[in-house]
Amino acid sequence: MPVANAFLKKEDLEKEEFFYSLEVGFCEKCKMVQLIEFVPYDKYIVPDENKKTHYLFFASTSKYMERHFAEFAKEIEERFLSKNSKVLEIGSNDGIMLKAFKKNKVLGVEPSSNVAEVARKLGVETIIEFFTKDLANKIITEKGKFKAILSANVTLNIHDLHEVLEASKILLEEDGVFVTEDPYIIDILSKNAYDQIYDEHVYYFSLTSLQNLFEMHGMEIFDAKRQPTHGGSMRVYACKKGRYEKTYAVKELFDLEKEKRLDKIATYEKFAREVEESKIKLIKLLKKLKEENKKIVGYAAASKGTIVLNYCNIGKGILDYISDSTPEKQGLFNPGKHIPIVSPEKFKDDNADYALLGAWNHAEEIMNKETEFLKRGGKFIVHLPTPKILENGRDLI
């Protein structure tokens, strides 16, 4: 598999492309689902000619995510913080969440300089480094301890989870909270969302596997809430042992995980079979449409789309192009299949019959935006939980 966000310039198309073995493992001891081969960070957080690190995902391009992170910040403020409490976010991207804190001192840690600089322009203090114990010791000397350490769709990307927790323990106040929100394994399994599995997403969390991890560091989960973001996520609240009373909600979720047999390898073997069946059905559907001379394009050059296109071997013979609203991606080619990425203006002026949705987790926002495409008879295709054409643009999952 190619790196999901390693988009290519035209002059790079003839060069050798980096590929890795995308295999998933299950640890029967700690119950963690994870990649077998970890892709080095420098394969997707890429330095430019000025040695500045670049990342091609800007969280603030989604209005839905902006509202979501504002709600996230509000909940943390109201539930755990007092005026001038300090908040640190690991992987703060372009400041989308930290800018929503109005009464507290915030600090972002973000290794990609291009998105971090956007945050800085918004007035969000941001350190351009990876989050490590060495950095934590430096921060505590200069800033002191923090009441809340947050992470959103980032903890699952970090190779050394033990370092993250040790660094967090250094910086957390005694009654501080560590809150992480990541794609939830139950949603991945139930929706057959195999496109959540790619190079950056090293781990696929359950509460059971996270609790085993936290216990190794004298911490525990005291609350958890399912979220609709990224096709189904879990917001997990952890603290130093005994600092907060466990909620009834988190007990219910642990029971659900037992019911779903997340601690058994057979559960994941069944998922593997369903993924293979989905692949076969999607290829069959797209080939049938092409035989009918239908014009098919891609919509959203997302990481998820990279996985689907490469796993299902969907290339330029099927998709004419991929429409994407991120200016930094336009004019490039998608990883592996080298399909050109164009601006939404081309999609609007075109007469495509079908659009394969590469960011189904933003489907509602996309449908509201693409009413003209739907009015003229255009239809979206999704690959999950089983491949299908959305007859009215709304009947997703």
For residue 268, the tally of other CB atoms under 10 A from its CB is 17
Q: pTM for the complete prediction?
A: 0.90
Nearest Cα to 173, choosing from 192, 201, 145, 210?
145
3-class SS of residue 172: strand
Distance CA 299, CA 284 (A): 19
Residue type, 46: V
Domain boundaries, the chain: 24-266, 284-390
Q: For the chain, give me the number of helices (H) and strands (E)?
A: 12, 18
User: H or E stretch including 64?
Assistant: helix 63-80
3-class SS of residue 350: coil
What number of CA atoms fall less than 13 Å from residue 326's CA on the CB side? 22
Domain 284-390 has CATH 3.90.650.10: no
- Beta carbons of 114 and 53 less than 8 angstroms apart: yes
Tokens of 10: 């035209």
Q: Which CATH class is domain 24-266?
A: alpha beta
Per-residue pLDDT of the chain (397 residues; tens, 9 = 90+): 999 999 999 999 999 999 999 999 999 999 999 999 999 988 876 655 555 566 556 666 678 889 999 999 999 999 999 988 999 999 998 888 999 998 899 999 998 888 889 889 999 999 999 999 999 999 999 999 999 999 999 999 999 999 999 999 999 999 999 999 999 999 999 999 999 999 999 999 999 999 999 999 999 999 999 999 888 999 999 999 999 999 999 999 999 999 999 999 999 999 999 999 999 999 999 999 999 999 999 999 999 999 999 999 999 999 999 999 988 899 999 999 999 999 999 999 898 999 999 988 777 788 888 999 999 999 999 999 999 998 765 555 4
Distance CA 109, CA 130 (A): 7
- 24-266 with 284-390: one CATH topology? yes
